[in-house]
Structure 1
């Protein structure tokens, strides 16, 4: 509410006599014969400005005697912050494997409150509790991928409707992270490998049998030689 109070009742006063910084004013009205006038101020969207005034050009108003006002009258100062919180989300490791985790950083354009894990949607994994060490401007957590997952397209999404800034502005819309891939599928043995081992084992067994046969032949030759030498003696 904006209130303009004159030292005496005036006429001819309209919004055209006012200069309004960073917003709009509804039509000025008076309920006491022109002594006090009121209107509603609506700030512009997406504005952050700590120095604003409404100025009245008194040349447009006259009193009952016909005297015209003179000069400018400024209002008290008012600050405006109508910028909604925005955010970015960065997943540090974009190719997660078995046993790996990743740091996740959520950075807002200004400090926020009310932000919890309930505001986040996490694909194919879990996120530790988000925490901030700088008053709510930057938040971090650790992402742990699910086991036995192979997916090259994953995002973390933030619903900003759950956060607000110091001025009470509530976030709007959804912010998504960069993409991250997950491959936590463990390697598994196959029948083909098992078969190769069996073939090798079978081959090794045949080789041993061949060695035993060769030893038997050599032993027989030695025995025949001994018998021959004995008959010569």
Structure 2
């Protein structure tokens, strides 16, 4: 809320008499005959500026006697920070095999709070809990790919609406990582063929044939001796 109080009731006062830095004002209105005027200030989006002023040109107003104001009046300073948090998301290894993991780094343009794994959507794998060691500017986690998976197109998505900066600005929209490939399918024997192996029945038949031959040979030998 912006309040402009004159030393006496005035007329002719409009927003055209005001110069507003980095924002807009709703139409000025008075409920007490022109002595006190109010308006609502809305800061400009995506602005970070610690030095801002509103300037009133008093030449645009007159009192009941017809006296015109003179000179300008400057407001107290006000700071604006309407820059929403943005980020980059980088996976160190974008081609993962069985037994491998990858470090994931999420770097914001300013320190944020409220960031958890719930703000991340992860394809074909899991992330350890995101942590920051520099006050919320940079966050890291370890990605572990899903077992027995072969997929060359995977993405990680950050929902920025889950984070806010020190000024209370909430992130907007989503951020998608670069593509990463996963191949954690272990080699396996697809078909086994045994050459020359005999079934139990074949083995018994072979044994019988061998025994019969041995008995036949023994009988011939005994006959020759008699």
Distance 2:158 2:66 in 1: 62
Task: Determine the structure 1 residue equivalent to 2:211.
Answer: none
Distance 1:51 1:116 in 2: 34
Aligned-residue offset at 1:29:
0.7
Task: Determine the structure 1 residue equivalent to 2:89.
Answer: 89
Task: Determine the structure 2 residue equivalent to 1:99.
Answer: 99
Distance 2:190 2:71 in 1: 93
Distance 1:47 1:89 in 2: 24
Distance 1:189 1:162 in 2: 47
TM (norm. structure 1) is 0.81
Distance 1:133 1:178 in 2: 24
Distance 1:191 1:21 in 2: 77
- The answer as to 2:169 corresponding to 1:169 is yes
Distance 2:86 2:92 in 1: 20
Equivalent pairs counted in the alignment come to 196
Alignment partner of 1:161: what SS? helix
Unaligned stretches of 5+ in structure 1? 200-233
Distance 2:122 2:29 in 1: 53
Aligned-residue offset at 1:65:
2.1
Residue range with higher mean Cα deviation, 64-73 or 9-18: 64-73
Residues 93-143 of structure 1: CA deviation (Å, up to 9, x unaligned): 011111110000011111111110001000010000000111111100000
Residues 164-222 of structure 1: CA deviation (Å, up to 9, x unaligned): 11111111111011111111111112436x55xx58xxxxxxxxxxxxxxxxxxxxxxx
Task: Determine the structure 2 residue equivalent to 1:64.
Answer: 64
CA RMSD of aligned residues (A): 1.3
Unaligned stretches of 5+ in structure 2? 197-226
Aligned-residue offset at 1:9:
1.3
Note the 1:9-158 alignment, pairs <5 A. 9-158=9-158
Alignment partner of 2:52: what SS? coil
TM (norm. structure 2) is 0.83
Task: Determine the structure 1 residue equivalent to 2:5.
Answer: 5
